[in-house]
Chain A
Amino acid sequence: MTPFLTESFAERGARERARALLDPASFRELLDPFARIASPYLAAQDVVPQADDGVVVARGTLGNRRACVVASDGRFLGGSIGEIGGAKIAGALELARRDFEDGRPTRVVLALDTGGIRLQEANLGILAVTEICDAIVALRERMPVVAVIAGRVGVYGGLSLSTALCSAIIVSEGARIGLNGPDVVETESGIEEMDSSDRPLIWRVTGGRRRFEQDFTTELVADDVGAIRAAVERAFERPRPLGPLVPPPFPDPRLERDAFLHAMEIQP
């Protein structure tokens, strides 16, 4: 039966999202705002920093199993990932890998809501994403890593690469997944290619439902805390088989027809 009352996940901030995914009262935050490790680069560029750098790392239990939820806050600078926030995410994954080695497996859920790397910290952000990708690959060989993309932003840019590496991707209809965001596409390729003010178009191309239909995600869920929690538990019990890390070769349009057909293993 369809529930009449739902508890929105997207309407919560990052901390409340982490709290909602973990079992009641098990929430324990690592490097909380009072750790005061805000980005040191933003003030120098006339941007007000946030005390947690927009990333919440919370340990606790999920279905009575040891868990760690990492949530980025899409409201602070578009959820952009800089040096500090990136190190918090990579550190949480690394900690879970060590926990596994120590015989204390910890289930990691990446509840990302981000436009990608923070432009004000460009190179450090790129480095952070490579560290996050490394850490996901190292952990997913041991146990599933689950991504929950169910915020108002979704996931774009460098972090969409990290998301694609996860063992399972749970997406909501309101969220989006893409490499280049609509504004980037419009700027780079022109308004004929994509009108970034055309919201139905954006959702037709990068929306959660479309990404699920394209088999890019493992599950499409309603914007409801209970539904998302249930999907996360399913994802850990039945992760999808991991595909090859190297994608199948893409035909190079510069090849001659015969060479192209040969590359595609088609008999001319």
Chain B
Amino acid sequence: MIETLSYEFAANEPVANRAHVGVVASGNCEVLLEPAADGRASIVVRTSVTGFDRTWQAVLARFFARNPVAVQIEINDFGATPAVVALRLEQALEYAR
């Protein structure tokens, strides 16, 4: 089963560029990050590991609390741990800025 999860967060910081990091490989994920026009962040996660929607919510909430960036993010996940997801998000943002 693949689970598709969607999240939204309030955001106001603009981002200059889009960025792509990561790979859909064991214990890893890819992140596609693009600037979004309106003052919010929207995230779509596709994951092969089901039942972790609250963990995703927590990792993303922490990221956007630290970086309220108006972006559209797509994550293709192949069993990345929360720490790997957090690092991939930070890496994507670093490239986008």
Chain A residues packing against B (C-beta within 8 Å): 13, 32-34, 38, 43, 46-51, 73, 75-77
Contacts and interface: CB of A to CB of B under 8 A. Distances in A.
Contact of A51 (B1, B28, B74): B74
A77 B23 CA distance: 10
24 contacts: A32-B20, A33-B20, A33-B32, A34-B32, A34-B34, A43-B2, A43-B46, A46-B1, A46-B48, A47-B2, A48-B2, A48-B24, A48-B48, A48-B76, A49-B24, A49-B46, A50-B23, A51-B30, A51-B74, A75-B23, A75-B25, A75-B28, A76-B24, A77-B24
Given A43-B46, A48-B47, 7 more contacts: A34-B18, A46-B1, A50-B30, A51-B20, A51-B74, A75-B25, A76-B24
Contacts of A13: 23
B56 interface: no
A52 to B, nearest CB: 8
A51 B24 CA distance: 9
A32 B34 CA distance: 13
A13 B18 CA distance: 19
Interface string B13-43: 0000010100111001010101000000000
Interface residues of B, number: 18
B64 interface: no
Contacts of B9: none
Interface of B: 1-2, 18, 20, 23-25, 28, 30, 32, 34, 46-48, 74, 76-78
A16 B23 CA distance: 12
A33 B74 CA distance: 11
Nearest to A50: B24
Contact of B78 (A32, A33, A48): A48
Contacts of A50: 23-24, 30, 76
A38 B46 CA distance: 13
Nearest to B20: A33
A33 B28 CA distance: 16
B80 to A, nearest CB: 11
A43 B78 CA distance: 12
Contacts of B34: 34
Contacts of B28: 75
B23 A51 contact: no
Nearest to A32: B20
Contacts of A32: 20
B30 A33 contact: yes
Closest 10 CB pairs of A and B: A75-B25, A50-B24, A33-B20, A48-B48, A75-B23, A76-B24, A48-B76, A48-B46, A46-B2, A48-B24
A147 B1 CA distance: 37
A258 B70 CA distance: 80
Contacts of A77: 24
A250 B30 CA distance: 47
B70 to A, nearest CB: 17
Contacts of A75: 23, 25, 28
Nearest to A74: B25
